[in-house]
Structures are given as C-alpha cells and as structure tokens.
Amino acid sequence: MNRKIWWTDWGLTPYKEALERQHRLFDRIKEIKIKNRRENSNIPTPNYFVFTAHPHVYTLGKSGKEEHLLLPVEMLNQKGVEFIHTDRGGDITYHGPGQIVGYPIMDLDNFGIDIIRYIRLLEEVIIRVLADYGIAGERSPGETGVWVEAGTPRARKICAIGVRTSRWVTMHGFALNVLTDLRYFDYIIPCGIRNKGVTSMEKELGFRPNIEEVKANILEKFARVFHADMQFILPGDLEKI
C-alpha cells in the first residue's frame, strides 16, 4: 500500500477550474486501478492532497435541494457570487476567501479504510487542528462535518465535509472556515440544516489566525491521522506523478 501523499497549494482558484483539475487527478488514479485489475498488474496508485480557496460560490451537491438557496441566482450574480451544481455528496454550502479548502484525492485501498471511516478521519484531522487553538470541535450525530457546541441550542458548524468516491478513489473534501465572511451563509440553508449556525476560527478566537500556520497544522495532523508521508510538490508538477 502506497501511503505517500503528494500535496500542493493551488491558491485562490475558480471553482469550476479546480473541479476540472481534481477530475484529472481522480481519473488518473482510477485508470491505474482499472489497468491493474485488467492486466493483473500492481502499479502503485498515487495519492494527492490539494489546498485551495475559491472566489465567492455556492455549490449544491447531488442530494441537495435548490430551495436551500434563499436568493434568486440573478441576484447572486449581481453580488458577484456563482451558483454551481457539483458531483460531491451533501447539500448546499458556501466557499469564499478566508476558507481553507482541502481536496484529498486518494486511493482508499492504500490506507485500508472504507468511505465511512475516511469521513470520520477527515473530521478527526480538523478536530485536532482546532484543539491546538483551544477550540473544542465536535462531531454531531447524523451530520457530517465539525461543529462547536454540538448538541446544544448554540450548535454551529465550523467545517463542512462533502466527498465523492468511485472505485475507492476520493475527491472533493473539506472547507474550514478560518477568516470567512460568515454573512454569505445568510443566503443559504447551510448543508440543508435549519436552525443551526455557522462559525469560523476568527469568530471563536476573537482574533485572526494565520492561514498558512493553520494549513501547516492540517498537514501535520493529516499525516498522523492517516499514517501518511506528506511530500510537497509544485502545482505544475502534480499531474506528472
């Protein structure tokens, strides 16, 4: 099993462009797995991890409902916000500057885990990162993602998670609100969950954490939780692996 994960940072990237780039990596891993099965070969499958952030955009997952978007698309466009249907699981969410978006594009067979375990491990990574800042991140039964004060009337989501898998290969991932302008969540029912709030690290801490430091912390925790070897690569070289 190949536990090396090549990671890079795409910076601020339009959502559709990032989705296309993800698909190329995703399809590459699947093609190798299909070839291995067809030819009874054992070519190692690569694993990738991409940091990015997106300009203001609402994305609706395969199981989402358009009525969870609370403003007409025309009005969103006037505000400079895109609305995009996407192929991940989950309902509607917001992406924008000040978020850390992480896209692990990995072969779960390399890590000996199934999709449910994978999602729980993603949550664990974020919970451990938040703990380093004194934020008590929690799981909320039946609701994917990481929450603050879950199970109370003050429950609020700090990290959304939505993934897609095919042949045990993953794409999409998590969006951690760090310096996020939370007003954009007022225009949707986040993740289709009513009567619960959304928060950010900045709001919980009362100061602006350094995004690059948070990313470094995520990489450290990701390596530990997944027992992985994280190796940096320049963005332009990622698709050559």
How far is 237 from 24, CA to CA, in rounded Å?
13
Which sign does the torsion angle of CA 20, 122, 136, 156 carry? positive
191 is catalytic: yes
CB distance 118 to 95 below 8 Å: no
Of the listed 25, 176, 191, 211, which one is catalytic?
191
From residue 23, alpha-carbon distances to 156, 163, 202 in Å are 31, 13, 32
CB atoms within 10 A of CB 224: 13
CB distance 50 to 105 below 8 Å: yes
Which sequence positions are flagged as catalytic?
A: 191
